[in-house]
Amino acid sequence: MHMADALISPAVGGTMWAVSAAGIAYCSKKVKEELDERKVPLMGVLGAFVFAAQMINFTIPATGSSGHLGGGMLLAILLGPHAAFLVISSVLVVQALFFADGGLLALGCNIFNLGFFPAFIAYPLIYRKIVRGNVSQGRLALGATLAAIVGLQLGAFGVVLETLASGITELPFSTFVAFMQPIHLAIGIVEGIVTTVVVSFVWKANPQMLEGSPVKAPTGGFPVKTVAAGLLIAAVITGGVVSWYASGNPDGLEWSMAKVSGKEELESTYGIHSMLASLQEKLAFLPDYSFKGTAEASEEAEGDQSARLGTSVSGIVGGAMVLILAFVLGLALKRFATDASSRA
């Protein structure tokens, strides 16, 4: 559900940049006040995991479409909404700048759609209401699944509203929303299942790692470092190997656009689109998660060793970049807060 720049006007793109930047500033302030030091390494590890998971497009049967994990709900459950928003922002920034996944002008929209709705709407109003601090396998599964579905539905609707506000006539509101919401319902169900599986693993391994758990709660059989190491290994395997088998079908957004306009991509209509596309082309050293020059390779070459190597390198390098960025951000905010309190 990464929007391209051609889907939005400069006014909408600039507005959403400002909104998302304000969200990042607010969440940074809250993380300085709230973040448990136990969660700082998890910010990096979970960021790497979400980056790798987003590379895996899974086929939606009988549609010709595909989807991928958003990750916002998973991050909110394990880190809390404020840290989750910062981590998903880190993932999307790295994807846009270095892998040309999502437009630069649309980056604010993508951060808001994939970060705000799951972290600040679905998580507190659905997941927390269902779990209510009394975690059980049934409550966790129901809460995580419903919240993931609602978060993705709201994000998909946000895309429709942003294209409407941008005056994209090729995507009329009523028709576009009629395709976007059902296909993202199917994607949301899969996301809910994956979120439940990962959160259940963490909960069984160490209950303290779920957001909101008391510090002195009885722990499972594994320390935080061991669970984090397991998630990191999963991220490396997912990005480095499982990504080879991602579906080649258009994702839910591209599929919906094709159904409405007959095209999976729209032509840019503003000069800033071309300018930012040129900048992105220079910055992205692994465009479309491939080596430069192989992204447009023929279908016959898609399975060759060069293509697979490019995908593996993208998954591992991108995951490492997000891990470092999110970890350093969390560490810096926590140390800044500690230094400020010690001076007070």
The predicted pLDDT at position 298 comes to 41
What is the rounded radius of gyration, in angstroms, for the C-alpha atoms of the chain? 20
pLDDT digits (tens, 9 = 90+) for 149-187: 999 999 999 999 999 999 999 999 999 999 999 999 999
Burial class from Cβ neighbours inside 10 Å (0-12, 13-18, 19+) for residue 25 reads exposed
Buried b (16+ CB within 10 A) or exposed e, 103-129: bbbbbbbbbbbbbbbbbbbbbeebbbe
Averaged confidence pLDDT in the chain: 90
Measure the CA–CA gap between 265 and 54, rounded to whole angstroms: 20
Q: What is the mean pLDDT of residues 217-246?
A: 84
Please report the DSSP string for 225-266 in residue order: HHHHHHHHHHHHHHHHTGGGG---S-BHHHHHHHHHHS-SSP
Count CB neighbours of 248 within 10 A. Answer: 9
Tokens 């995951």 sit on residue: 319
**Average pLDDT for residues 256-277, to the nearest whole number?**
92
| Per-residue pLDDT at 215 | 42
Domain annotation for the chain: domains and CATH numbers:
5-343 (1.10.1760.20)
pLDDT (average), residues 274-299: 83
Identify the band that residue 218 occupies on the pLDDT scale cut at 50, 70 and 90: very low
Nearest to 125 by CA among 150, 155, 145, 158: 150
pLDDT band at 208 (very low <50, low <70, confident <90, very high): confident
Residue 191, pLDDT > 90, answer: yes
pLDDT digits (tens, 9 = 90+) for 241-260: 999 999 999 999 999 999 99
pLDDT over 50 (residue 217): no
Distance from the Cα of residue 193 to its chain's centroid: 16
Residue 148 CA to residue 305 CA, distance in Å, equals: 35
45 torsion bin: left (phi>0), alpha (psi -120 to 50), beta (else): alpha
